[in-house]
A and B are shown apart, each in its own frame.
Chain A
Amino acid sequence: MTTYQVDPWTALGDPSRKRIFEHVAARPRSVAELADRLPISRPAVSQHLKVLRDAGLVGVRVEGTRRIHHVDPAGLRRLREELDSFWGQALATFQQIAEQEDHHP
């Protein structure tokens, strides 16, 4: 199991970071683009992106002089996988019970 430096839930718990994350999720963006679109200063955007990167939610690639941020699916996927596995197990049991009882009421 990978241990992230920042808990992904913590990272998304901050309203500004959540908005930045949503914008990055819509499509990959540079710091300048994010700062233009949101009422958040460039240095603050950079800080928030660092937290999102440390949480494994956002990744970065360099294009010329720009750093383009994109969603790193690993963090969010991890959250979903746990619940997916929980409900997968529940529905499998449900199917078994429903069909058994139908044959042997």
Chain B
Amino acid sequence: MTTTPPSPTSTTVRREVVVAVPADRAFAVFTEQFDRIKPREHNLLDSPVTETVLEPRVGGHIYDRAEDGTECRWARILAFEPPHRLMFSWDIDVRWTLEPDPDRCSEVEVTFTPEGDGTRVVLEHRHLDRHGEGWESMSAGVGDESGWPLYLDRFAGLT
């Protein structure tokens, strides 16, 4: 797995990996088994997530289903083009809660390009600056301790 060193002011996260399977297979695994791929610690619901579902069509959603039966739709499928491209919105704000305003959501694009006998998979999470829009009013009443640091703590287990 490789990472391109980003410019200091980049608002994009880019990751890529070459997998030893054809593109159609890679696309199918990514979209059909997203449940296993998404790190499960990341949870917007109150109760533990039992399942993450990626609906395989434009206009569909990615949603988490929790033990208590509640659901959380946290992404909208913007492009579903097997076996080359998948794009979805990231409707999660920096406090790891649902972001209802599409203008304040970032975007994730995943491309699958044949390379030798395998597939190069490039993931770009773009427009991170959009999460800043309107953040001031949203965070009214949220102190330093429960805003930004909380977000960091939620991710801390990953590093």
Q: B-contacting residues of A (Cβ < 8 Å)?
A: 1, 3-5, 7-14, 18, 25, 71, 73, 76-95, 97-99, 101-102
Contacts and interface: CB of A to CB of B under 8 A. Distances in A.
Interface of B: 1, 3, 6, 8-11, 13, 15-17, 19-21, 25-26, 29-30, 33, 36-39, 42, 94, 121, 123, 125, 128-129, 131-137, 139, 144, 147-149, 151-152, 155, 158-159
B128 A99 contact: no
Nearest to A11: B132
B136 A13 contact: yes
A77 B8 contact: yes
Contacts of B158: 82, 85-86, 89
A interface SS class? helix
Contacts, number: 126
Given A10-B136, A12-B135, A91-B1, A85 B155 contact: yes
A22 B118 CA distance: 39
Given A12-B135, A95-B1, A71 B8 contact: yes
B20 A84 contact: no
A24 to B, nearest CB: 9
A87 B12 CA distance: 12
29 contacts: A1-B149, A3-B144, A4-B148, A5-B144, A8-B132, A8-B148, A12-B129, A13-B133, A13-B135, A18-B129, A25-B9, A71-B9, A79-B94, A80-B128, A82-B158, A84-B13, A85-B155, A87-B125, A90-B37, A90-B38, A91-B37, A92-B1, A97-B33, A97-B37, A98-B21, A98-B26, A98-B29, A99-B20, A102-B21
A26 B3 CA distance: 23
